[in-house]
Amino acid sequence: MTQAHDQLVPVPDAAVAGTSCTLEQYREMYGRSIEDPHGFWLKQAQRLNWVAPPTRVGDWSFDPVRINWFADGTLNICFNAVDRHVNAGRGEDIALIFEPDDPVADVRKLTYAQLLEEVVRMAGTLLRMGVAKGDRVTIYMPMTIEGVVAMLACARIGAIHSVVFGGFSPDAIAGRIEDCASDWVICADEGLRGAKRIPLKANVDAALKKVSVRGVLVVRHTGGEIDMTEGRDHWYHELSQGVPAECPCVTMNAEDPLFILYTSGSTGKPKGVLHTTGGYAVWTETTFRYVFDYRAGEIYWCTADIGWVTGHSYIVYGPLQNGATALIFEGVPNYPEHDRFWRIVDKHKVAILYTAPTAIRALMREGDDWVTRHDLSSLRLLGSVGEPINPEAWRWYRDVVGKSRVPVVDTWWQTETGGVMITTLPGAHAMKPGSAGRPFFGIRPQIVDNEGKVLADEDKNVAAEGNLCITASWPGQARTVYGDHDRFVQTYFSHYKGKYFTGDGCRRDGDGYYWITGRVDDVINVSGHRMGTAEVESALVLHEKVSEAAVVGYPHDIKGQGIYCYVTLKAGEEPDDDLARELRNWVRTEIGPIASPDHIQFTPALPKTRSGKIMRRILRKIAEDDYGSLGDTSTLADPSLVDGLIAGRKNR
């Protein structure tokens, strides 16, 4: 990645540049957010509707770890996302536009007033089923209006939602249900992705052979054949008959849990990252407002799935709290053809498009014609999220999609941060292709070396490269790992005492721009999806023929990183292509299609130190085709192994 200053792309013409914040305003507001967080966040919080407005703001410590925001305030985030717009006379504004997988099927538009009706119906149905405040509700839904409604309905009655992405397997669903002792599931009969049917209810049935729940609410979507278990499963359209026309919002303390979202780490099973109500509400409302510079009446489209944090914060809570019109799309970028995204932008006159580098790269590869045949003049802002964007893809996105005239925001953040942390603001900052930009209000990044020595700080304007930490809490920060606070402390606050460690490597240039270089732990980023290598390894060794496995990431043109697995077999087992295929399918079944290994290399043994530790550094280098810099291999128990590994890699 270049850091040359000549790469600076200026703030676009006033006609399209953001109006939410100029550079002077950014400096002034950022300064205030750091010097007087209390006054700053209290003011931002005033845009929300509180039952009891908070008088306290951030009350936190990173050593010991204790994080509270707005702790004496009470509110309901569903009220802020839906009811208050209706109460303020904006009930006829469009809240959601549903673009189905099938391009000729009906588009559905829902006003805020209609959204309120739908949420009230779903909330009433959940209450009828027996769901109570504080209960965990697992949501396994396709990208439909009902998926969003399910989340808001939980928030309305104070239930904690745990959305599981539709690409996860029955085992993964079961693990998540068990971990948070979720008694309830909301799912659809099936989902659709590029005309393929995703057997959501059947997957839930399979998961529920391993764990049990009290009730499953099933939304009819495709009308496909499914099994219903008497006493446990309820059709939504039946159970919702005659529910009361009103369902008041439960008053929540700002620190009452809002949702759990499972994410991968470098060790063990996925962690249930817990977000609470008030701080998350303020954080998503404020970041959406400033980063996307939304203007009334515009169509905003985030292509993420509600199964990921991007969907939570920037399809549901951020846009809706701002009264925006959000488009949701059930399908995939290349169905029925490679211009589906651009067709949608043209058809709905999308003004703001927020997507992932992996999609940009995949569409770029198909050529410009797919883009240029559509009228994309409605676009006013482009956003990127989920992984580092290579400057080439950035330029294509801006020049071919954005016709070189619109701002691009490259937003760096994480499931744990709740919302955008580092980004340029559209009317304030010149852009650098490949750099996320500058810290958002209240964010104090710091770059440290492996020993914790501070290399660069926001208030010391120096260039440096190292590990990215954040030194002060912000309203949207995750509060804990559900049921395992020690793991929360261990994962994020033990590497560098008193700091939140992001797990990302980062370079800060002389202009104070941050360049995320990727994960520095054993987490890989595959198509913007976070995957723990340990998870894939655990899945592989569950196979009866596998003795040991080591999984690493390697550069992949489209996905960013691919999943590379080194596998040793039990004595007497013969490696061949059929077994490689079988293992690939095995991992798909154990974790889900998103964890499909890209490559399996059989090896008689894994390179280990004399004390038995797998030398991942060497495996990473070999997977990267980088044999020149393997470093010292003399500490290996069996240095001769390396030649065999290299030969195996070259043969693939």
Binding-site positions for CoA read 310, 334, 527, 588
Residue of 364, 366, 353 whose CA lies nearest to 393? 364
336-365 core/surface letters (b: 16 or more CB in 10 A; e: else): eebbbbbbbbbebebbbbbbbbbbbbbbbe
Of these, 179, 410, 522, 537, which contacts ligand PRX (CB under 6 A)?
Answer: 410
Q: Which is nearer to ligand PRX, 386 or 427 (CB)?
A: 386
Least Å distance, CB 536 to ligand PRX, is 16
Binding mask 496-525 for ligand PRX (x = CB under 6 A): ------xxx-----------x--x-----x
Question: What is the three-class DSSP state of 313?
Answer: helix
Near ligand PRX by CB under 6 A: residue from 144, 182, 310, 603: 310
Determine the size of the site formed for ligand PRX (CB under 6 A): 21
Of 50 and 440, the one with the shorter C-beta distance to ligand PRX is 440
Q: Which tokens is 30 given?
A: 């950022």
CA distances from 525 to 134, 175, 517, 559 (A): 32, 21, 12, 8
Binding-site residues for Mg(2+) sit at 541, 543, 546
d(CA 280, CA 107): 31
Q: Is 588 helix (H, G, I), strand (E, B) or coil?
A: helix
> Residues marked as binding for ATP?
386-388, 410-415, 504, 519, 530
- Select from 198, 77, 59 the least CA-distant residue to 140: 198
Find out whether 217 and 186 touch, Cβ atoms under 8 Å.
yes
Which residue in the block uniquely carries the two structure tokens 């914040």?
Answer: 21
Q: What is the closest distance, in whole angstroms, from the C-beta atom of residue 89 to ligand PRX in the complex? A: 34
511 token code pair: 């202009």
Cα(128)–Cα(124) distance, rounded to whole angstroms? 6
Closer CB to ligand PRX, residue 427 or residue 503? 503
Give 278 or 386: the residue with its C-beta nearer to ligand PRX. 386
Nearest-approach distance from CB 516 to ligand PRX, in angstroms: 4
Judging by beta carbons within 10 Å of its beta carbon (0-12, 13-18, 19+), is residue 72 exposed, middle or buried? Answer: middle
Residue 3 binding ligand PRX, by CB under 6 A = no
Q: What H or E segment, with its residue span, contains residue 534? A: helix 533-541
The least CB distance from residue 423 to ligand PRX, in Å, is: 8
SS (H, E, C) 595-608: HCCCEEEECCCCCE
Sole binder of ligand PRX in the list 171, 387, 521, 522 (CB under 6 A): 387
Question: Which residues are known binding-site members?
Answer: 310, 334, 386-388, 410-415, 504, 519, 527, 530, 541, 543, 546, 588
Q: For ligand PRX, give the closer residue by CB, 437 or 575.
A: 437
Nearest residue (CB) to ligand PRX, 388 versus 407:
388
Residue with tokens 């159970």: 239
Least Å distance, CB 209 to ligand PRX, is 29
Q: What is the DSSP letter of 191?
A: E
* 412 lies in the site for ligand PRX, by CB under 6 A: yes
Helix spans in 446-532 (H): 485-493
Interactions with ligand PRX, residue window 415-474 (CB under 6 A) = 415, 436
Q: What H or E segment, with its residue span, contains residue 641?
A: helix 641-650
Q: Based on the shown chain and the rule CB under 6 A, indicate whether residue 388 belongs to the binding site for ligand PRX.
A: yes
Distance between CA atoms of residues 480 and 638, nearest Å: 42
Shortest distance, CB of residue 204 to ligand PRX, whole angstroms?
Answer: 23
The string over 387-399, giving b where at least 16 C-beta atoms fall within 10 Å of a residue's C-beta and e elsewhere, is: bbbbeebbbbbbe
Question: Of the listed pieces 192-200, 379-387, 390-398, 635-643, which binds ligand PRX according to CB under 6 A?
Answer: 379-387
**Region of 161-169, 362-370, 405-413, 534-542 interacting with ligand PRX (CB under 6 A):** 405-413
Q: How many CA atoms lie within 13 A of 522 on its CB side?
A: 20
Helices in 240-356 by DSSP H: which ranges?
277-292, 309-311, 318-321, 340-348
**Options 118-126, 409-417, 580-588, 637-645: segment touching ligand PRX (CB under 6 A):** 409-417
Distance CA 304, CA 162 (A): 17
Taking the least distance from each CB to ligand PRX, the nearer of 523 and 569 is 523
Question: Shortest approach of ligand PRX to residue 526 CB, angstroms?
Answer: 10
**What contacts 372, CB < 8 A, 6 or more positions away?**
400
> Judged by CB, which is closer to ligand PRX: 247, or 516?
516
CA distance 191 to 198: 5
Between 236 and 275, how does the x/- string for binding to ligand PRX read (CB under 6 A)? ---------------------------x------------
Cβ of residue 528: shortest distance to ligand PRX, in angstroms? 6
Q: Which residue is nearest to ligand PRX (CB)?
A: 415
Shorter beta-carbon distance to ligand PRX: residue 19 or 494: 494
Q: Does 144 engage in binding with ligand PRX (CB under 6 A)?
A: no
User: Given candidates 29, 155, 309, 606, which one binds ligand PRX under the rule CB under 6 A?
Assistant: 309
530 binds ligand PRX (CB under 6 A): yes
Alpha helices per DSSP H over 130-191: 145-157, 170-179
Contacting positions for ligand PRX (CB under 6 A): 263, 309-310, 385-388, 410-415, 436, 502-504, 516, 519, 525, 530
